[in-house]
Amino acid sequence: MLQHQIVSREQWLVARKAHLAHEKELSQARERLVAERRALPWVKVDKNYVFDGPNGKVTLGDLFKGRPQLVVQHVMFTPDWEAACKSCSFWVDGFDRMVPHLAARDTSMVAISLAPVTKLEAFKARMGWSFDWVSSGHNGFNYDYEVSFTQAQIDKGVPRYNFGATPFYGPELPGISVFYRTEAGEIFHTYSCFARGIDMMNAAYQYLDLTPLGRHEDGLPYPMDWVRLRDEYQPQAAKGACCHG
Where do the domains of the chain lie?
47-201
CATH superfamily of 47-201: Glutaredoxin (3.40.30.10)
Name the packing angle between helices 117-127 and 86-95 (round to 10°).
60
Confidence (pTM): 0.91
Beta bridge partners of 58: 51
Q: How far is CA 11 from each of CA 5, 19, 164, 212, rounded to the nearest angstrom? A: 11, 13, 47, 18
Q: From first to last of its 245 residues, what are the pLDDT tens digits of the chain?
A: 568 899 999 999 999 999 999 999 999 999 999 999 999 999 999 999 999 999 999 999 999 999 999 999 999 999 999 999 999 999 999 998 999 999 999 999 999 999 999 999 999 999 999 999 999 999 999 999 999 998 888 888 888 899 998 887 789 999 999 999 999 999 999 999 999 999 999 999 999 999 999 999 999 999 999 999 999 998 764 454 444 43
Residues 76 and 173: beta-carbon distance below 8 Å: yes
Q: How many beta carbons lie within 10 A of that of residue 57, not counting itself? A: 11
Could you tell me where the beta strands, DSSP code E, fall in 67-160? Answer: 69-74, 107-113, 132-135
Give the amino acid at 77: F
